[in-house]
Structure 1
Amino acid sequence: MVETRILPLFPLQAVLVPGAALGLRVFEPRYLDMVGECGRNDGGFGVCLIAEGGEVGAPAVPAEFGTEALIEDFGTDDDGLLTLRVRGARRFRVASTAVRGNGLVEAEVEWLRDDPARARLRPQHALLGTLLERIFDQVGRPPGVDPDFDDAAWVGWRLLELLPMPEERRAGLLAVDDPHARLDGLLALIG
């Protein structure tokens, strides 16, 4: 049986992947309400790539797949706007959507299965582990990151987070359940 939940959505022109950090500026009343609700319920919200529409104004149509965002920190910027730092958690598929009276899109989501624990990189993906090590050598390792360059899921998520690519392609790879198939997709991208 598939576990479902109603989750408020924050559609963006970007994809959030599991384990990745994302900074957000929040100013629309619907999203301020959503953040307050998340605080009261000690929960998160969903981040989906926008399939149709824009980030501001009328409710956007979200892509089919997204990631739960958990709030790690908040504050205000120089303009007095609410800022959030969120981290990607579980992936989901949008089963259906509805728009609340305040314009907030909420979705019935089906949680996707987690990656297998510690799936080792296959020989054909070793280049990707090396590529990620070199990226970290160049740009530095993000704070709090404990690298595991032999874990297929970890390497795939970090490369999906860091490599430049069209967001639609990133969203497509977010939907892939098998970490080795995800790595195959990344190899095709850089190949």
Structure 2
Amino acid sequence: MDAPTPLVDLPLFPLATVLYPGAPLQLRIFEPRYLDMVRECARTGGGFGVCLIMDGYEVGEPALPAAVGTVATITDFHTTAEGLLGIVAHGGARFRVERTRSGGDGLLRGDVALWPDEPRVQVPVEFALLQVILERLVETLGPHWRDAPQTDYDDASWLGFRLAELLPLANPERQQLLELTDPVERLAELRDILPRFQKP
């Protein structure tokens, strides 16, 4: 029997978005609880957990987060035109929230089980069209991926996460794709979704 995965204490940031492994995330930080969270991350070098909001709002009372989220690691800080703290973060490992608790400052924390990275799987030939579609999406919607090598496009996990990131999907769909653990199954789901976006 496998040993239980040790739980990690992680500050949680429920958002009205889904963060995928490898994806960039830009945020403006203004609530005191999240300013404290950013200071903690800067001090410890740790990350914070991004979870889709299932109930509630980004501002105010702690929102109900989805059970599966993604660790975000801060890579840059800046001051926005409005004088707010802006951060750039990068999606890392996915996790499952086992327990949550709210601190006196309203910051949600979770005991989370980190998921291992998906294995690198060659994109099956029947999904080659998805590689072409992603190349077109990157030209218009994903300039940060323009320098990605062809070896990334050949990786089923990377291809699926990038398509899920750039396609105009509803958040419940994005969350479902995040929670899948088979990269080829994710490509199959995306292939079935694509006809919605094709012009008649």
Q: Same fold (TM over 0.5)?
A: yes
User: Structure 2 matches for 1:141-156, cutoff 5 A?
Assistant: 141-142=143-144, 145-147=147-149, 148-156=152-160
Q: Output the amino acid matched with 2:117.
A: D
Richer in helix (by share):
2
Q: Of 141, 164, 183, which aligns to 1:160?
A: 164
Superimposed CA distance per residue, residues 102-121 of structure 1 (whole angstroms, 9 cap, x where no aligned partner): 0000111111121103x100
Superimposed CA distance per residue, residues 70-109 of structure 1 (whole angstroms, 9 cap, x where no aligned partner): 0010111122111000110100111111001100001111
Match of residue 72 from structure 1: 75
User: Structure 2 matches for 1:54-73, cutoff 5 A?
Assistant: 54-73=57-76
- The answer to whether the 8 A contact 2:142-2:166 is kept is no
Secondary structure of residue in 1 paired with 2:33: helix
Secondary structure of residue in 2 paired with 1:137: helix
Q: Output the amino acid matched with 1:159.
A: L
- Are positions 1:23 and 2:26 aligned together? yes
Shift of residue 136, structure 1, vs aligned partner: 2.3
Structure 1 stretches of 4+ moved >2 Å = 136-141, 143-147
Secondary structure of residue in 1 paired with 2:18: coil
Secondary structure of residue in 2 paired with 1:38: helix
Normalised to the residue count of structure 1, the TM-score between the two structures is 0.94
Separation of aligned partners in 1, 2:42 and 2:146: 23
User: Structure 2 matches for 1:84-163, cutoff 5 A?
Assistant: 84-117=87-120, 119-139=121-141, 141-142=143-144, 145-147=147-149, 148-163=152-167
- Are positions 1:187 and 2:191 aligned together? yes
CA RMSD of aligned residues (A): 1.4
Secondary structure of residue in 2 paired with 1:120: coil
Q: Which runs of 5+ in 2 are unaligned?
A: 196-200
Separation of aligned partners in 1, 2:145 and 2:134: 16
Match of residue 171 from structure 1: 175
Gap change, CA 1:73 and 1:139, over 3 Å in 2 = same
Shift of residue 124, structure 1, vs aligned partner: 2.1
Normalised to the residue count of structure 2, the TM-score between the two structures is 0.90
Separation of aligned partners in 2, 1:80 and 1:164: 30
Secondary structure of residue in 1 paired with 2:153: coil
Secondary structure of residue in 2 paired with 1:84: strand
Aligned length: 190
Q: Of 4, 10, 13, which aligns to 2:13?
A: 10
Separation of aligned partners in 2, 1:3 and 1:155: 30
Gap change, CA 1:145 and 1:47, over 3 Å in 2 = farther
Match of residue 45 from structure 1: 48
Query: Which stretch shifts more, 124-133 or 164-173?
Result: 124-133
Separation of aligned partners in 2, 1:80 and 1:25: 10
Secondary structure of residue in 2 paired with 1:142: helix
Shift of residue 145, structure 1, vs aligned partner: 4.5
Secondary structure of residue in 2 paired with 1:22: strand
Q: Output the amino acid matched with 1:152.
A: A
Superimposed CA distance per residue, residues 19-57 of structure 1 (whole angstroms, 9 cap, x where no aligned partner): 111110000000001001111111100000001100000
- The answer to whether the 8 A contact 1:113-1:177 is kept is no
